[in-house]
């Protein structure tokens, strides 16, 4: 068998490239980073025909061969750099048949690089609904490269595509001898002189060296000096040459469209997508509908998850109670029930909500509505020094700040990208969801507003909106300190509306649940075990008097009497208070007492720096260790409801609950986020600034809200 061949998969954003990548590679995929940059590198292996295997490289989507962002530069480097380790043997260009004219610009540029090209036309069904009929044979003749219609979502045309890849690999298809346009005429003398300095396969490649020589890694210092002299000698105007090139390409594309594509009269009735956009992008109704969609999303998290959550919570409570009464009363049993089992229950109960949240977000993305949210909020973004491209990372931050911050790579303006990175962690991520839902269920009554709106859902939506508007406010402040001189533009293609792929929604829900269990779960269990030890043992000087006191008192009353039950509860509480965890908690309690937090919450605040969702596991462990063993069948919510201050006042009131939710809404309590910010900004300065400004903001806001409501 011959060595695998490299095939680059390129195309405009939203052209179906990812679907084709999945159809070709199946599960044989891996994600890494391109050398020297933090841009994701998706690669996979595909069996084309017996004897031919291909390495499929899924390159970031781009509209043209002139890069403007880190993602686009990766695509550019793979296609233009002869020394790139991923240099392709051939290129598959995925083109949207329903927007063929725009897609053909990028196709024509790659064809002129003299790399063997296959054009895979997707969305033919949408093109037909638009009244567009494409003559594939005629298009193939005009372009000089093979063209195949595919539907990777339904696995149609993939077999034919593989046959063409096989023929191309055996040199039955080569790069067309003639250029798509007369590139040489654009700057003949410059191109000829550059080809003498840097070996080039095509005139168009030489033209790109003329335009981007200073940024190209394969052009050495001596060659760059020679190119500068060539450009100066011939008074080469980069902007004018690029403009002429694009105009010539579109002129040729217009001729090809006329010869190979039949379109209905453009004055025919509007498409369904355009009619829906008239409503969803309306300057008033668009925002009203957006708020309604958000409310339904957050209300559904409570409504749909209520029954599985109650079942999981009740099952763990019953299991703990049964194990307490069945297993022998010793440290091993205590460790298993109050350390391991309490930790597992602390995150397992929130799996339904995590699945529902990601399922609903996937539906919004699949239908095309998520892109409309970016469009709607672009005007607001610009007023605070950002643009519409900042919205997608912010929206992604609702799921997780780590991939959201990585998504800022598509923002060309470096300062806008930095501001977006600095404010994205203010968006309420899924790790905050367990804390929000637990506290809302605890302190917010389950009642209706105006007879139809659930108060708990409104509070949940309010917390998410609060994070968004605080991010906007902080961005406006940072705009004053980080001067933005570069101009930026927001250009975005709105995908057509589609029915969600329910299989994709289900797969996403399951995968996100697995990630939550694997990543968050193991951290929560490990910290729960450590906390069990810290909460079960303490300094001898403190624990010995507690044991002596209560053992003496318990010896004076019957073991099964009500007095013994009260003393046992006081004994457990005293041991916890004097344990290592208790000593640490009481040390920091004066600093957090003005926020309405007791020492147990203080311990949870510290452990939450590993991951925010650890808060729930921490509380589960602390309240399990500190309870009478006979009360192990109580749920965490019931234990929190009965928590009291030394004076008998409840710990969890409306004031302290709102204060705690507000603290977690704003505090930077995620080591993974800090690490990714450091990687993306290449400096510890920015994550440290985030840590201090977000923690300070969280403290001040929590203090104010507690003082108002107490």
Instruction: Record the pTM.
Output: 0.59
> Could you tell me if 117 and 205 lie in one domain?
no
Number of domain units in the chain: 3
Same domain, 543 and 675: yes
Please say whether the dihedral angle defined by the alpha carbons of residues 274, 276, 278 and 281, taken in this order, is positive or negative: negative
Q: Which of 143, 169, 195 is the last residue of a domain?
A: 169
pLDDT tens-digit readout, 416-428: 888 888 888 898 8
Does the residue 469 lie in any domain? Answer: no
> What is the C-alpha to C-alpha distance for residues 399 and 356, in angstroms, rounded to an integer?
12
State which residues form the domain around 119: 5-169
Yes or no: say if 674 and 693 are a contact pair by the CB < 8 Å rule: no
For residue 441, count CB atoms less than 10 angstroms from its CB and return exposed for 0-12, middle for 13-18, buried for 19 or more. middle
Which run of H or of E encompasses 56? strand 52-58
Which pLDDT tens digit goes with each residue over 353-372? 777 777 877 787 777 777 77
* 362 occurs within a structural domain: no
Percent of the chain at pLDDT above 70? 84
Q: Helix, strand or coil for residue 610?
A: coil
Binding-site residues for GTP, please?
A: 11-18, 36-40, 58-61
Q: Among 91-100, 197-206, 210-219, 368-377, whose mean pLDDT is lowest? A: 368-377
Residues 69, 215 within the same domain: no
Choose among 104, 293, 236: nearest CA to 181. 104
Q: Is residue 414 part of a domain?
A: no
My answer on whether 164 and 194 are in the same domain is no
- C-beta separation of 616 from 435 below 8 A: yes
187 and 157 within one domain: no
Binding residue ranges for Mg(2+): 22-23, 25-26
- In CATH, what number is assigned to the domain containing residue 65? 3.40.50.300
Please check whether residues 589 and 640 belong to one and the same domain.
yes
Q: Region of 11 please: left (phi>0), alpha (psi -120 to 50) or beta.
A: left
DSSP character at residue 44: E
Residue 328 forms part of a structural domain: no
The Cβ-side half-sphere exposure at 61, using a 13 Å CA radius, reads 17
pLDDT tens string 225-243: 888 898 888 888 888 888 8
Tell me which long-range contacts 183-186 makes (C-beta under 8 A, separation of at least 24). 183/112, 183/207, 183/245, 186/241, 186/244, 186/245, 186/248
Residue 604 shares a structural domain with residue 705: yes
Name which of 390, 410, 388 is nearest 69 in CA terms: 410
Name the domain boundary from 263, 278, 313.
263
| Mean pLDDT value of segment 555-561 | 75
Q: How far is CA 489 from CA 336, 411, 699, in A?
A: 57, 10, 37
Q: Is residue 314 part of a domain?
A: no
Q: Report whether 69 contacts 411 (CB < 8 A).
A: yes
Judge if 191 and 164 occupy the same domain.
no
Instruction: Tell me the C-alpha distance between 417 and 412, whole Å.
Output: 7
pLDDT of amino acid 38: 43
Q: Collapsing DSSP states into helix, strand and coil, what is residue 582?
A: helix
Helix (H) or strand (E) segment spanning residue 119: strand 117-122
The pLDDT of 272-295, averaged and rounded, is 78
Query: Residues 108, 223: one domain?
Result: no
**Short-list 73, 63, 58, CA closest to 95:** 63
In a domain, 619, yes or no: yes
Residue 146 has pLDDT above 80, yes or no: yes
Beta pairing class for 90-96 and 117-122: parallel
Residue at 215 is within a domain: yes
> Of 639, 591, 593, nearest to 619 (Cα)?
639
Pair 232, 155 in one domain: no
> 62 lies in a domain?
yes
**Same-domain status, 160 and 205:** no
Q: pLDDT for 325-335, tens place per residue?
A: 788 877 777 77
Q: Are residues 244 and 105 in the same domain?
A: no
């Amino acid at each position: 068998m011959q060595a695998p061949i490299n095939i680059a998969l390129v195309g405009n954003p939203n052209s179906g490239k990812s679907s084709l990548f999945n159809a070709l590679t199946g599960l044989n995929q891996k994600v890494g980073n391109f050398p020297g940059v933090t841009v994701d590198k998706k690669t996979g292996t595909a069996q084309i025909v017996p004897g031919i295997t291909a390495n499929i490289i899924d390159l970031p989507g781009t509209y043209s061969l002139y890069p403007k962002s880190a993602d686009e530069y990766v695509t550019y480097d793979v296609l233009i750099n002869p020394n790139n380790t991923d240099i392709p043997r051939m290129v598959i260009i995925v083109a949207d048949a329903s927007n063929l004219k725009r897609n053909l610009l990028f196709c024509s540029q790659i064809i002129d690089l003299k790399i063997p090209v296959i054009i895979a036309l997707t969305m033919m069904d949408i093109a037909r609904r638009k009244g567009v009929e494409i003559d594939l044979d005629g298009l193939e003749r005009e372009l000089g490269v093979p063209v195949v219609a595919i539907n990777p979502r339904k696995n149609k045309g993939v077999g034919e595509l593989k046959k063409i890849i096989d023929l191309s690999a055996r040199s039955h298809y080569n790069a067309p001898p003639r250029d798509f346009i007369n590139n040489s005429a654009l700057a003949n003398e410059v191109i000829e002189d550059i080809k003498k300095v840097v070996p080039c396969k095509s005139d168009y490649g030489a033209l790109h060296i003329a335009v981007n020589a200073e940024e190209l890694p394969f052009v050495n210092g001596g060659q760059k000096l020679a190119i500068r002299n060539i450009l100066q000698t011939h008074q080469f105007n980069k902007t004018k040459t690029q403009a002429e090139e694009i105009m010539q390409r579109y002129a040729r594309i217009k001729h090809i469209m006329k010869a190979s594509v039949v379109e209905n009269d453009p004055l025919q009735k509007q498409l369904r997508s355009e009619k829906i956009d008239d409503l969803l992008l309306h300057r008033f109704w668009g925002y009203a509908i957006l708020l309604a969609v958000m409310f339904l999303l957050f209300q559904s998290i409570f409504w749909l998850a209520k029954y599985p959550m109650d079942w999981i919570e009740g099952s763990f409570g019953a299991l703990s109670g049964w194990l307490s009464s069945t297993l022998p009363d010793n440290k091993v049993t205590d460790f298993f029930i109050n350390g391991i089992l309490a930790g597992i229950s602390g995150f397992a109960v929130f799996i339904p909500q995590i699945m529902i949240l990601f399922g609903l977000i996937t539906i919004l993305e699949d239908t095309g509505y998520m892109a409309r949210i970016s469009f709607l909020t672009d005007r607001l973004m610009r007023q605070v020094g950002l643009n519409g491209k900042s919205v997608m990372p912010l929206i992604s931050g609702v799921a997780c700040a780590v991939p959201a911050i990585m998504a800022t790579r598509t923002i060309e303006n470096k300062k806008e990208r930095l501001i977006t990175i600095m404010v994205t962690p203010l968006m309420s991520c899924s790790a905050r969801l367990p804390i929000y839902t637990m506290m809302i269920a605890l302190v917010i009554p389950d009642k209706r507003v105006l007879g139809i709106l659930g108060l708990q859902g409104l509070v949940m939506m309010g917390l998410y909106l609060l994070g968004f508007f605080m991010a906007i406010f902080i961005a406006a402040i940072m705009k004053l300190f980080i001067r933005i001189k570069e101009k930026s533009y927001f250009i975005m293609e709105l995908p057509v509306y589609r029915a969600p792929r329910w299989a994709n929604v289900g797969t996403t829900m399951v995968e996100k649940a697995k990630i939550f269990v694997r990543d968050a779960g193991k951290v929560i269990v490990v910290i729960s075990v450590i906390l069990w030890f810290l909460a079960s043992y303490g300094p001898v000087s403190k624990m010995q008097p507690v044991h002596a006191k209560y053992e003496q008192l318990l010896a004076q009353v019957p073991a099964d009497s009500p007095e013994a039950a009260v003393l046992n509860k006081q004994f457990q509480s005293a041991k916890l208070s004097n344990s290592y965890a208790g000593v640490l908690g009481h040390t920091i309690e004066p600093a957090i007492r003005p926020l309405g937090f007791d020492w147990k919450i203080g311990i949870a605040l510290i452990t939450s720096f590993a991951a925010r969702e650890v808060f729930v596991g921490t509380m589960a462990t602390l309240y399990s260790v500190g309870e009478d063993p006979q009360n192990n069948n109580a749920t965490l919510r019931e234990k929190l409801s009965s928590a009291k201050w030394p004076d008998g006042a409840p710990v969890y009131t409306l004031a302290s609950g709102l204060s705690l939710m507000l603290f977690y809404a704003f505090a930077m309590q995620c080591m993974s986020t800090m690490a990714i910010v450091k990687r993306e900004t290449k400096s510890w300065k920015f994550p440290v600034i985030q840590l201090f400004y977000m923690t300070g903001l969280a403290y001040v806001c929590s203090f104010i809200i507690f003082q108002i409501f107490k």
